[in-house]
Amino acid sequence: MTIHVDLLLKNISQLLTMRSSGPRSGKAMQELEVIEGGVLGITNGKIAFIGNDCAEVEATMIIDCEGKLVTPGLVDPHTHVVFGGSREHEMALKQQGVPYLEILKRGGGILSTVEATRKATMEELYEKASFHLDRMLSFGTTTVEAKSGYGLDRETEMKQLRVAKELQKNHQIDLVSTFLGAHAIPLTHKEDPEQFLEEMLALLDEIKAEQLAEFVDIFTETGVFTVEQSRRYLQKAKEKGFDLKIHADEIDPLGGTEMAASLGAISADHLVGASDEGIQQLAQSGTIAVLLPGTTFYLGKSSFARAREMIERDVAIALATDFNPGSSPTENLQLIMSIAALQLKMSPEEIWNAVTVNAAYAIGRGEQSGQLAVGRNADVVIWDAPNYLYIPYHYGVNHVNKVIKNGRVVTERVEIRE
Ligand code: IZC
Ligand code: ZN
């Protein structure tokens, strides 16, 4: 029987399907379905056919992959992509040895981005975020999470979330929105963080009614919110029907990891200072560890999250850029894959699971994205690489040949030939 598809990809050297019935944890992160010489059929924006040969398949359009690697579109499960301004002036401060949290304490850091974001119009924020999303797409990312948190007041937090919603409607990238109103204590509330958290909680009904965010997140850190404050805040968000994410143990080891596990958060992010106990609890609660090694690299720290211990204890790991103007100004998830190999000592197989299947599950999109399986979104990357080992290995550049989003080629490498 012959089947007909809209688009057929043939002559693939390695087809990474990433097919999995759920997030992969521990040893299972080593699993990878590789179809050598595979073919992939797409119809109506969905994966329609996966196989070893195309004898039985007719297609309206064919792409000859000429022996290239094909994978699912990458999923970036932690970004702060909607913001005003930039923070290049902080680089010199960091070089002089002023730590990230000290810059924040002096009213810079996150608070300087808050000032710029408050001043920006919706249109300006939209255009700027759109530019960064275009760049992400060009690097092979087809689904991203986006956090608010540069408003810290009703008006600007809602503005940021509405920009994210517009981008979700109009941009080719799929965007998943998180409310991070509890990202820092604004100068007006320095003496009363509890009151500030109440004000952020008061926005949740409106956020829910307008469907502006699926997740609620908090920055649990020295000088920001304590574990106790975070727990009370997240508990209330959970009661209002939001799934939880947490910036946990990024800089100082406060115990945010244990808190994330005990609240049943969908993910706990950063985890550089996570304790043994915290790691154990993540495995038990099924909370996905979203690691952001690009941030550790950019902050110039020498100790990275303990990915090997996490995998040994059966935790599921996802990787993200943490794209933001302060601690990780990069849209390039391929670079993060290299840093994960070099600094987290993750294997190529673990890394691919972490930027596809597990990343999608970490943002509630596991059933739509992150895998090439019949019926799922046809989000596909064709790479200028012969095999999957090659991407983390050859670092700092863009290996994308073509990005296909919902079955359509949306970005293509431009070849300049004399
Ligand atoms: O703007 O610095 N860590 N939040 C928590 C950030 C980094 C983003 C920023
Ligand atoms: Zn973050």
Q: What is the pLDDT of residues 183-232, one digit of tens each?
A: 999 999 999 999 999 999 999 999 999 999 999 999 999 999 999 999 99
Percent of the chain with pLDDT over 90: 96
| Ligand 1 atom nearest 183 alpha carbon | 4
| pLDDT tens-place string over residues 63-118 | 999 999 999 999 999 999 999 999 999 999 999 999 999 999 999 999 999 999 99
**Cα–Cα dist 146/85, whole Å:** 17
Distances (CA, A) of 66 to 36, 55, 417: 13, 18, 18
Residues in contact with ligand 1 by the CB-under-6-Å rule are 80, 109-110, 113, 219, 247, 250, 324-327
| pLDDT tens-place string over residues 140-153 | 999 999 999 999 99
Ligand 2 is an ion; residues with CB less than 5 A from it: 322
pLDDT at 30 over 90: yes
Q: Is the alpha carbon torsion for 319, 324, 325, 330 positive or negative?
A: positive
Substitution site in 183, 245, 292, 297 for ligand 1 pocket (most atoms within 8 Å of beta carbon) = 183
**Cα–Cα dist 268/317, whole Å:** 10
Which pLDDT score is estimated for 411?
A: 86
Q: Distance from the CA of 110 to the center of ligand 1, in angstroms?
A: 6
pLDDT at 319 over 80: yes
pLDDT at 267 over 90: yes
Q: Distance from the CA of 42 to the center of ligand 1, in angstroms?
A: 39
Report which protein residue has its CA nearest ligand 1's atom 3.
327
Q: Distance from the CA of 247 to the center of ligand 2, in angstroms?
A: 6
Contact 193, 221 (CB under 8 A): no
Q: Distance from the CA of 150 to the center of ligand 1, in angstroms?
A: 10
Ligand nearest to the CA of 183: 1
What is the value of pTM for the model shown?
Answer: 0.98
Which pLDDT score is estimated for 417?
A: 64
Percent of the chain with pLDDT over 70: 99
Question: Which token pair is 284?
Answer: 């038990």
Nearest partner of 337 among 267, 390, 384, 382, judged by Cα? 390
| Ligand 1 atom nearest 87 alpha carbon | 1
| Ligand 1 atom nearest 295 alpha carbon | 7
| Ligand 1 atom nearest 270 alpha carbon | 3
Sequence-ordered list of residues with C-beta below 8 angstroms from that of 135, at least 6 positions apart, any chain: 331
Report the length, in residues, of the chain: 418
Substitution site in 132, 322, 327 for ligand 1 pocket (most atoms within 8 Å of beta carbon) = 327
43 beta partners: 46
